[in-house]
Amino acid sequence: MSGADDLAEAERDPQDLAEAAVRARQKAQEAREAAQAAQRSAAESVAESAASHDRTATSYEEAAEHNERRRDEYREHAAAHRQFAEEDRAMAQQLRRMAEDDSTGPFAPAVGR
């Protein structure tokens, strides 16, 4: 039965309405928790991507030191990967903040209700 069906049927009995409200609140909490977990997981993945870009940039920097003919090209690649890493770190931080904000924001469940 969907939440709307629960509420429509519950309109006939105050006890049923209260139970439907509790179930709806529980479902909302579960959805919030799942969204937070997804945001934290995405943040971790993006942070790993940043680390990978940093490693790639380091490899290009090392290659630039050993190949004079392609030094400029390798340095450009290194700089691009450093920029990608910085963007990924910023995105990971934003995802972490979103997950935290969802747990303390205006739609978070009140403690003690």
CA distance 55 to 7: 55
* Domain range summary for the chain, segments of one domain joined by +: 3-102
Q: Would the pLDDT of 33 be above 50? A: yes
Residues 40, 34: Cα–Cα separation, whole Å: 10
Using alpha carbons only, what angle is made at residue 88 by residues 83 and 93, rounded to the nearest 5 degrees? 130
| pLDDT interval class at 12 (50, 70, 90) | confident
pLDDT digits (tens, 9 = 90+) for 43-99: 999 999 999 999 999 999 999 999 999 999 999 999 999 999 999 999 999 999 999
The model's pTM is 0.71
pLDDT at 13: 83
Per-residue pLDDT at 112: 46
> What pLDDT shows up at residue 108?
61
Per-residue pLDDT at 10 exceeds 70: no
Of the pLDDT bands very low, low, confident and very high (cuts 50, 70, 90), residue 9 is low
- pLDDT tier at 104 (50, 70, 90 boundaries)? low
Average pLDDT of the residues in 29-36: 94
How far is C-alpha 87 from the chain's CA centre? 15
